């Protein structure tokens, strides 16, 4: 499918309950699918006829062929993680990574833009745990520990914080 009128004919044939149109939104070509009867289904829009067809097929409960371009779009444009993509598409993380490599999409390093000083401040001054720091900054506990080690911040013992003295 390349965006020509024949593609819309293919969509019309596959999904007879919809009207299909091609429109430009802010200079970006989009494909619209609108249910012939407003109560049947909502309006759907996508950047390509293939994605629109997949959206409608998924909504109708039909199997959807996994395409590397769809995986790359979810990862790159929707900023999903590899694990989130794997869960959404129902495949392994390895499969997602292979698809991304095939599409030439570089993997993001989790927390690549994390401010080390903010992590140190959260741990040392705000007294957050490694787990809480990891959750706040979207990185692993090991990454938090590495940042703390790099900055010479001693780690607190594992477990509950000590109770204040009674009295």
Mean pLDDT of 27-32: 73
Residue 89 belongs to domain spanning: 66-108
Q: What is the pTM of this model?
A: 0.42
**Three-state secondary structure of 33-90:** EEECCCCCCCCEEECCHHHHHHHHHHHCCCCCCCCHHHHHHHHHCCCCCHHHHHHHHC
Q: Are residues 54 and 41 in the same domain?
A: yes
Q: What is the pLDDT of residue 123?
A: 94
Residues 96 and 135 in one domain: no
Query: Does residue 39 surpass a pLDDT of 60?
Result: no
What residues have CB less than 8 Å from 106, skipping those under 6 apart?
Answer: none
Residue 35 above 70 pLDDT? yes
Which pLDDT score, from 0 to 100, does residue 97 have?
Answer: 92
Residue 1 in 3-state DSSP? coil
**Three-class SS of residue 21?**
strand
- Total domains in the chain come to 3
Q: Are residues 72 and 58 in the same domain?
A: no
Q: Give the Cα-Cα-Cα angle 70, 48, 32 (nearest 5 degrees).
A: 125
Residues 110-129 pLDDT 10s:
666 788 999 999 999 999 99
């Amino acid at each position: 499918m390349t965006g020509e009128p024949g593609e819309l004919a293919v969509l019309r044939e596959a999904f007879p309950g919809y009207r299909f149109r091609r429109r430009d939104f802010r200079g970006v070509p989009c494909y619209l699918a609108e249910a012939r009867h407003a109560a049947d289904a909502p309006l759907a829009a996508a950047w390509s006829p293939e994605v629109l067809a997949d959206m409608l097929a998924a909504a109708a409960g039909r199997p959807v062929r996994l395409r590397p371009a769809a995986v790359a779009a979810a990862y790159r444009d929707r900023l999903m993680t590899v694990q989130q993509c794997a869960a959404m598409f129902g495949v392994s993380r390895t499969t997602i990574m292979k698809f991304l490599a095939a599409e030439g999409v570089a993997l993001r390093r989790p927390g690549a833009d994390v401010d080390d000083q903010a992590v140190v401040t959260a741990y040392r001054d705000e007294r957050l745990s490694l787990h809480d720091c990891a959750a706040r900054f979207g990185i692993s506990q090991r990454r938090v520990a590495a940042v703390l080690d790099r900055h010479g911040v001693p780690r607190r013992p594992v477990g509950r914080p000590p109770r204040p003295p009674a009295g």
